[in-house]
Structure 1
Amino acid sequence: MPAKYEDRLLRVLRHIHDNPAGDLSLDALAEVAAMSRFHWHRVFHAMTGESCAEAVRRARMYRAAAALVQGDRPLRLIAGDVGYPSQQSFTRAFRAAYGLTPGAFRHRGVLVPPHCPASKGDHPMYPVETLDQPARRLAALPHRGAYIRIGETFDAVAAIFSARGLWPHAHEMIGVYYDDPAAVAEGDLRSKAGIVIDEEVTLAAPLEEVRLPAGRYAVMHYKGPYPGLEAAYKYLYGDWLAGTDEEPGDHPPIEIYLNDPRNIAPEDLLTDVCVPLRAEVVA
């Protein structure tokens, strides 16, 4: 992979290990990586095979394990040293990582690392192009929860378009995906289900206007059922993007649906997954 992605990965891992009690939130780690918060976790997860939260827990638990075996510092202080607000929450996390309470681990006196994640493995390959995309104006509804159920929200958007006679002004159907499912609880995932609409159309509630910027995008051409998109994203972020000198832009990925799941077999569904890229490649 180009050195800049490797350097970012190592910089973030060093920061995690050097600051176990610090702010290790997704936004904070994206800032350390100098990458848009919309894309950093997808890159990290695809490249390492674990989420940022898993990497943080593993680093904190190993630091705590070393403190337990190599000294007699009280448990409540060790808990604070590795970012846990109470001894109880620390004990739960430590038991989950090691299968022992901190006290039992100290008594055993053998320092071992916590469970390591499986390697990321090989991702199926998909065709990717770098293409210029036009600015788009969406008439959209927000969707909260599992991405696989966003079809329900698209149905609501379509019903509103039919009721208001907006179809003559409609173009592509597009989903905007703000969160990485590997980092955010399913019930908290945020997305928008929208249809590209002409500029002259006035939008009224509950429809919201969403502006998608023009510019260069990495466009992955995916064919197949929507549940398979998870593996496609891992290839796009973990293999294709990490193997280039491209820099993701500060806007979430979008999916452009090129045919209708209501009358197309799942294996024939066509989706363009588009990740915005910076206009100038950062060295």
Structure 2
Amino acid sequence: MQSKIVTREDYQNRINVVIEYINHHLGEEIDLKTLAGISNFSAFHFHRIFKAMQEETLAAYISRIRLEKAALLLRYSELPIENIAYQIGFATPSSLSRAFKLLYGISPLIYKTNQNIYLTKSKEMKTTNQELQRYLQLSAQIINRENQPVIYVRLTGSPDQVDYPGAYARLWSFLAEENLLPAEADHIGIYHDDPNVTPADKLRSDVCLTIHQEVKPRGDIGVKTLAGGRYAVFHYEGPYHHLGTIHDMIFREWLPNSGYELRDEPFFEKFVSDPTNTPPDKQLVEIYFPIQ
């Protein structure tokens, strides 16, 4: 049976259902798992899809909607500030006051008691993707991959702080010590967390080398299988530090128009060029998104 083609309208309708749920449950704890279930998106990728479609993280969206509701209640209701805080999901009136002042520049009390004050949001800097468009071919290649054994080292921390080159060097040294040096191996990076949700110092990534014979794990060097199946492959040429924005572009611009949905598998990158002898703006990376 042929699977249903998913359109941008389908994606937006499912996000709209999530937004309606949030709007009607502002006074409750709103968790990611519940929203992913409501949207019927992959739980693994839900937050990235939401951010791509809304151009705002889930936490930022919920916070903004709560504060906008607070502004309405402060101006047009007789409710005390404490009641408003609890009604829209703030743990304490003081936490509402801090967030309100950060966004609007004045306290809830001043806004409530002075009808001549009109709110203006603090200016936010928005990044543009125009300069990045030349780096990415958004017409993805659809392929089927076999399961691929890899050896790996798990790193935890911000991408600009962890030692990726050192981890790859350790993997190559391990293979040499085991007399298992292959003629060639793919350098793979697997990313388990969304940097818009997980604190930078808690981000987990696996630095991997593909292998073609049996290898036993040792110490913190593990062995696992990179899941096969259907993937959309994007070819990127440019500096590594743009990759996070490139990922967002794929979620926002390609995925809703692609007719595909994502599987509950992490996406990964294959580093094609050698960073030690390739200029930063000429680095070649293949980005693999698991689709169904």
Of stretches 241-250 and 2-11 in structure 1, the one that deviates more from structure 2 is 2-11
Q: Cα distance, 1:182 vs. partner? A: 2.6
Distance 2:43 2:9 in 1: 20
Q: Equivalent of 1:3, from 1, 9, 21?
A: 9
Q: Equivalent of 1:41, from 41, 47, 62?
A: 47
The answer as to whether partners of 2:188 and 2:271 remain within 8 angstroms in 1 is yes
Q: Cα distance, 1:88 vs. partner? A: 2.0
SS of alignment partner, residue 171 of structure 1: coil
Within 5 A, what are the aligned runs for 1:226-241?
A: 226-241=240-255
Give the structure 2 partner of residue 101 of structure 1.
107
Q: Equivalent of 2:276, from 262, 275, 281?
A: 262
Query: In the TM superposition, what whole-angstrom CA distance separates every residue of 1:43-87 from its partner, at most 9, and x where no partner exists?
Result: 222232211111111111111111211222222222222222122
Length, aligned pairs only? 278
Q: Cα distance, 1:16 vs. partner? A: 1.6
Distance 1:65 1:150 in 2: 46
Amino acid in the other structure paired with 2:44: F
Give the structure 2 partner of residue 252 of structure 1.
266
Query: In the TM superposition, what whole-angstrom CA distance separates every residue of 1:133-161 from its partner, at most 9, and x where no partner exists?
Result: 12112211111112244514333333333
SS of alignment partner, residue 36 of structure 1: coil
Q: With structure 2 as the length reference, what TM-score do the two structures score?
A: 0.85
Give the structure 2 partner of residue 281 of structure 1.
none
Query: In the TM superposition, what whole-angstrom CA distance separates every residue of 1:85-141 from its partner, at most 9, and x where no partner exists?
Result: 122222211111211111112112467585686778555142421111121122111
Q: CA RMSD in A?
A: 2.4
Q: Equivalent of 1:141, from 140, 147, 153?
A: 153
Structure 1 runs not aligned, ≥5 long: 279-283
Give the structure 1 partner of residue 223 of structure 2.
209
The answer as to whether partners of 2:273 and 2:284 remain within 8 angstroms in 1 is yes
Distance 1:129 1:138 in 2: 23
Q: With structure 1 as the length reference, what TM-score do the two structures score?
A: 0.88
Amino acid in the other structure paired with 1:141: V
The answer as to whether partners of 1:169 and 1:198 remain within 8 angstroms in 2 is no
Distance 1:34 1:20 in 2: 21
Percent identity for Structure 1 against Structure 2: 26
| 2:206 matches 1:192 | yes
Give the structure 2 partner of residue 75 of structure 1.
81
Structure 2 runs not aligned, ≥5 long: 1-6
The answer as to whether partners of 1:128 and 1:218 remain within 8 angstroms in 2 is yes
Amino acid in the other structure paired with 2:185: H
Amino acid in the other structure paired with 2:55: G
Q: Equivalent of 1:177, from 170, 191, 195?
A: 191
The answer as to whether partners of 1:48 and 1:120 remain within 8 angstroms in 2 is no
SS of alignment partner, residue 131 of structure 1: strand
CA separation of 1:240/1:69 partners in 2, compared to 1, >3 Å: closer, same or farther? same
